[in-house]
Amino acid sequence: MHTIDDLLRIMTTLRDPERGCPWDVEQNFATIAPYTIEEAYEVADAIDRRDYPGLCEELGDLLLQVVFHAQMAKEAGHFDFGDVVEAISTKMVRRHPHVFADAEVADAQAQTQAWEEHKRAERAAKGEADDSALAGVSRGLPEWQRALKLQKRAATVGFDWPSIEPVIDKLHEEIDEVRAEFASGDAARLTDEIGDLLFVCVNVARHGKVDFSQALRGANAKFERRFRRMEQLAAAGGGLAGLTLAQQDALWDRAKTEEKAAQSGLP
């Protein structure tokens, strides 16, 4: 059974300039960062599919990313894996005084609020002068996730829709504005309005307590299933490319009907 120390030694060997892997040796923080993000999404995908053997493997891939970054930092003299472990362990104890000390929290929502207060105090202790409710929202997040965090932060000071109805109204308003900009032909304005529309879509999901990313992954998976079925149905006639849009739509409707029937257990 391998241990974390074994993994650290493996990464050290891979990065060895003399006998390591040429690809691993030439990497840096910037080139590895996209792989780190990709592995995090693959963890989420395995969870969505309830693929627990796959989840085990994907968590290993994600752990490798942490080890990779820590090894590069060690080589540069910044920090090492032990410092990473020390930092997160200290942070977890500090931000959970209701578990590791004598503080009390009423429920999960109260803990979320306390967590944000801890983060605000930590930023102040570092000398960060930004006292906005939006301070500390990372610019490195996927934009949909940053939108969600910005909305949640704004809501902490009462800047939020009171119910879903005005959010839906706003969604319709943004759709109308997107339609108008398509007609105008102004590319910059169209980009701006599509951004507003997507921001409101995130808000709709937030008010519905729906994970925006999970919902979109589900929609992507659904589209892929149905499109692949369309390809199967069209294969005997030469494929989708030779069909009119109306014929393709008919195959889409058939694939959709078949899927719904299978889900309901109907013949």
pLDDT digits (tens, 9 = 90+) for 33-84: 999 989 998 998 899 889 999 999 999 999 999 999 999 999 999 999 999 9
CB atoms within 10 A of CB 67: 19
Record the pTM: 0.66
The pLDDT value given to residue 97: 86
Q: What is the pLDDT of residues 197-252, one digit of tens each?
A: 999 999 999 999 999 988 998 999 999 999 999 999 999 888 999 999 999 999 99
Q: What is the pLDDT of residues 174-186, one digit of tens each?
A: 999 999 999 999 9
How remote is the C-alpha of 246 from its chain's centroid? 36
Question: Which pair of structure tokens corresponds to residue 36?
Answer: 């780190």
- Using alpha carbons only, how large is the chain's radius of gyration in Å? 25
Amino acid at 16: D
* Mean of pLDDT values over 147-155: 92
The pLDDT value given to residue 267: 55
C-alpha 47/C-alpha 138 separation (Å) is: 24
